[in-house]
Amino acid sequence: MFELTQSWWELVARVGVVYFSLLVLVRLSGKRTVGQFTPFDLLVVLLLSESVSAALSGGDDSLSAGLILAVTLIAINLLVAVVTARSKRLETLIEGRPLLIGRDGEIFIEALRKQHVSTAAVEQALREADCEVANMRCAFLEADGKISILRTTR
């Protein structure tokens, strides 16, 4: 139950490699993946977690291995949080930065396409901000995938 079939450091290394690989893949997939899950996105996340589970454990199903994996994941996540809080450059690299997707009543369709965001999502954000397109000063796709609307001050 507690006996490892491989060394603890191999489990830690596996978690590190998988964590940072997935971090890169999520960043490359665009902002929408983070902030606006569709049922299909949720399905991908669930399948992704299942697909890397064997890579994490290397076939070691012991309780000790599971605990080492969990502690390592939490430690890496905490380390990333500390590093991004202290370094603006690393924060931008890991978390991204806002992207202008509309200005002065015009929605930038090409910017939405590059980020895999639908115009319907922008229209929803406009409704939530109680703002008509004509009164939109700026629209931003935030680093977390949410859409922020700034209204004109007329």
Q: Which amino acid is at 19?
A: Y
Q: What is the pLDDT of residues 107-136, one digit of tens each?
A: 999 999 998 889 999 999 999 999 999 999
CA distance to 19, 25, 70, per residue, from 77 (Å)? 9, 16, 11
At 63, is the pLDDT very low, low, confident or very high (cuts 50, 70, 90)?
confident
Domain boundaries, the chain: 8-95, 99-151
Q: What is the pLDDT of residue 40?
A: 64
The 3-class SS string of 111-123 reads HHHHHCCCHHHHH
Q: What is the pLDDT of residues 45-60, one digit of tens each?
A: 777 787 788 888 788 7
Question: Which CATH code is given to the segment(s) 99-151?
Answer: 3.30.240.20
